[in-house]
Structure 1
């Protein structure tokens, strides 16, 4: 373990404010605008909807506090990929990486693209037949920026992070003050709708909005005094997010009756802003929402493409040599970015955004559950490893995290059995692939992860291909609408 514990070699530059910013910046995004109608539809009532948001936040807090113990034990790039490998071995870590590559990454990005195209088409009064063209355009734009280099993608991320706060604050503050009083919290509102979905499905929907807290554990080794900073960052960060999400929900509840909010779906936040600020002001808020979602797409393509690249470097994935290639000019894993973008587009055309978000959350929470259990396993397996931070309230907090994870997994399997089973089967397909490549590469040294100088710049190829694809979809939309 001493050879792998690199904590003392890392710069410990992150303090409480930086860690808090990381939690809030990673989490706050599309879920704040897109998920309130979905949660309300599942619960059928204002009060239960708010309860789902609170429980989802509590599970996220317990999960974050639990995961951070492994973060300071194994302060190495890779996050959960490393934790699972140290605790359960290479097979489980491979399944996690495979799941991230074929399910979580394209499903999550595909869901965000679906949300973006929904707001875009509403804002510019574009027929739904053109949504695929919008999806191709935004994915091509993000792929182009990331193919140029990580610096340019980082600039876009900073702009989006600042812009996302504007529509959130406007919706929350003015909705609470100027709403027409539809909401009737903590009383029998009489506006509930009949719902047959388990309450766990509503919690699963909120977990999409809270997702991102796990990333803070990946930089635990670079936090100054993690035993004190990490719990505060997780607790205060997610409590802040619970308050923000609650305010946005109450604001929307004050503007819409239950039936109308559910029927509007992804467009509820945009329509609410138009009612509060007029057509022009509402459109400005809608633009802010789109920029916020754009930042989420960019951030996940930046980070998840690196996960695919890391999997390819291990040589246990299809097309490993292609996916582990770095462009010599941009120093970005352009091939991994292209593959992620293509699969995200395909997923977004096959399934609606809410379904994709549910599948992505179900698949990742199966491995979150394994990681929470892994904290207890690690205490027995590595009893002598130095732990600058230990889970507060152990073992209560890890048990709450495990029960919460098990509950949402159960809800998904009961309510959407087919999607849940497909997710599990697709994940398990990674096992024979692992055995095949493990046997193939067992007695030879791999030379993956090469630098390559392309004759034709990949960013030019991406830009031209995107223009052609958009043109085809515009022609298709014109044909359908006429």
Structure 2
């Protein structure tokens, strides 16, 4: 007899349309985004040397692989939409799960999507020579487009993810391959470079910077309830996706290292990849990479909205958040949690308007890795707590692989607290704010049957509602910008 009782909730009405290709595209599409192009100079600046920078990328990849291998066991044990929210609830109870869901809703999801929107708007305005004052308009447009696609249905969002993943590989492979072949060899890798720069940050901060580029591997578990045969598909998607990405990131970094001296690469910052391509292919090549960057970021935004909105939907089902009934409503036409998608898009737009993209990415990484640490430990706890639950997949190399994931998570959290203390404190405080809300809504649910979760047919299709309102926001922003300038 199983130790876990099957939950009878609205989730069973979600479509199980995600196959291996779409799941693999989710992993690669969400991970292979802005970080591939924008983080190499930042990692190099923090590490202070080519060799240490490359080592940081490799270690970050190892941590991500071990984390992915560890997380897969819980993913096939609890193949429900919500991902870590479900795992933490089963292992630690509703309070810890609520704090995670609250952190995702108000901190991680909007911060991460907002950071990606900020990066997209910056590259878009640079490529098309648009004034920086229009970045908000571009951000509203891309968020409205992605929200519109996701509100149509998970299958359509999966198609977009697959297309974006295929398209983005072209400029990335051009940069990696031609950089390795045509690079003038500015640095002799794996020997003393003699081009180091002074760095006061702990090495853990360099690893944390790479983890932003790697992040996304865990979020595919959030749609496990919509994956066909999750026991087979989920581990393959996460493991194959991460291994592929480690190879791609190492190739891109080595290519850039062969083109730029240390100081020049650091000074170029986010523009390093585009300028490297211009040197190899001319002005057209730089524009090609810029388009590739935008497609990469677009796939990341789509993947995160597609997956993290399901966690917000799961929070609504539990009833311990404001507007729970509205958030836990599924559109009868698309069978997607459109209201959760709308909330995430609105918060992401506000965050991108108020905070710098790099600051948003730093805050989001610290907040999520605290809960990654709890989840990795939770795999070991689950072995004792649920010994009789079928495990079609078990962690390879147990317990060594989970221990590596645990030590890696602890190491990067330590580095963040030491070097970026303010961001760490902000993340912790905003997360703990969710605890009194949990107790308040728990008491309310004892008094009143809140009846969370419903399938609702709207007079106006929600996808059209999203599209119309996105256009209105864009028009309003254009008018405001014209009035101000």
- Under a length normalisation based on structure 1, what TM-score does the superposition of the two structures give? 0.90
User: Is residue 413 from structure 1 mapped to residue 417 from structure 2 by the alignment?
Assistant: yes
User: Is residue 363 from structure 1 mapped to residue 367 from structure 2 by the alignment?
Assistant: yes
Deviation (angstroms), 1:18:
8.2
Alignment RMSD, CA only?
2.9
Deviation (angstroms), 1:176:
1.1
Mark the CA change 1:287 to 1:448 in structure 2 (over 3 Å): closer, same or farther: same
User: Is residue 133 from structure 1 mapped to residue 133 from structure 2 by the alignment?
Assistant: no
Mark the CA change 1:5 to 1:50 in structure 2 (over 3 Å): closer, same or farther: farther
**SS of residue in 1 equivalent to 2:255:** helix
**SS of residue in 2 equivalent to 1:290:** helix
- Please name the residue that 1:318 is paired with: 322
Residues 3, 388 of structure 2: 8 Å contact kept: no
**SS of residue in 2 equivalent to 1:392:** coil
User: Is residue 58 from structure 1 mapped to residue 62 from structure 2 by the alignment?
Assistant: yes
Residues 273, 286 of structure 1: 8 Å contact kept: no
- Please name the residue that 1:244 is paired with: 248
**SS of residue in 1 equivalent to 2:392:** coil
Please give the alpha-carbon distance, in whole angstroms, between the structure 1 residues aligned to 2:32 and 2:124: 20
Structure 1, residues 166-191: CA drift from partner, whole Å, max 9, x if none? 11111101111122322332333233
- Please name the residue that 1:95 is paired with: 99
Mark the CA change 1:390 to 1:150 in structure 2 (over 3 Å): closer, same or farther: closer
- Please name the residue that 1:281 is paired with: 285
- Please name the residue that 1:184 is paired with: 188
- Please name the residue that 1:4 is paired with: 5
User: Is residue 341 from structure 1 mapped to residue 345 from structure 2 by the alignment?
Assistant: yes
Residues 95, 428 of structure 1: 8 Å contact kept: yes
Pairing of 1:256-271 with structure 2 (within 5 A): 256-271=260-275
**SS of residue in 2 equivalent to 1:361:** helix
**SS of residue in 2 equivalent to 1:345:** helix
Mark the CA change 1:117 to 1:365 in structure 2 (over 3 Å): closer, same or farther: same
- Please name the residue that 1:352 is paired with: 356
Deviation (angstroms), 1:457:
4.7
Deviation (angstroms), 1:62:
1.4
Structure 1 residue runs without a partner (length 5+): none
Please, which moves more after superposition, 331-340 or 193-202? 331-340
Residues 13, 223 of structure 1: 8 Å contact kept: no
Please give the alpha-carbon distance, in whole angstroms, between the structure 2 residues aligned to 1:178 and 1:372: 42
Residues 122, 267 of structure 1: 8 Å contact kept: no
Please give the alpha-carbon distance, in whole angstroms, between the structure 1 residues aligned to 2:417 and 2:352: 22
Residues 4, 74 of structure 1: 8 Å contact kept: no
Residues 25, 162 of structure 2: 8 Å contact kept: no
**SS of residue in 1 equivalent to 2:361:** helix
Mark the CA change 1:395 to 1:152 in structure 2 (over 3 Å): closer, same or farther: closer
Residues 5, 75 of structure 1: 8 Å contact kept: no
Please give the alpha-carbon distance, in whole angstroms, between the structure 2 residues aligned to 1:231 and 1:298: 21
Deviation (angstroms), 1:267:
2.2
Structure 1, residues 368-388: CA drift from partner, whole Å, max 9, x if none? 100111122222222333333
- Under a length normalisation based on structure 2, what TM-score does the superposition of the two structures give? 0.89
Deviation (angstroms), 1:205:
1.3
Please, which moves more after superposition, 198-207 or 63-72? 63-72
Within the candidate set 385, 390, 394, 1:381 is matched to: 385
Please, which moves more after superposition, 312-321 or 271-280? 271-280
Please give the alpha-carbon distance, in whole angstroms, between the structure 1 residues aligned to 2:446 and 2:209: 42
Aligned length: 476
- Please name the residue that 2:44 is paired with: 40
Structure 2 residue runs without a partner (length 5+): none
Residues 43, 202 of structure 1: 8 Å contact kept: yes
- Please name the residue that 2:446 is paired with: 442
Please give the alpha-carbon distance, in whole angstroms, between the structure 1 residues aligned to 2:436 and 2:362: 26
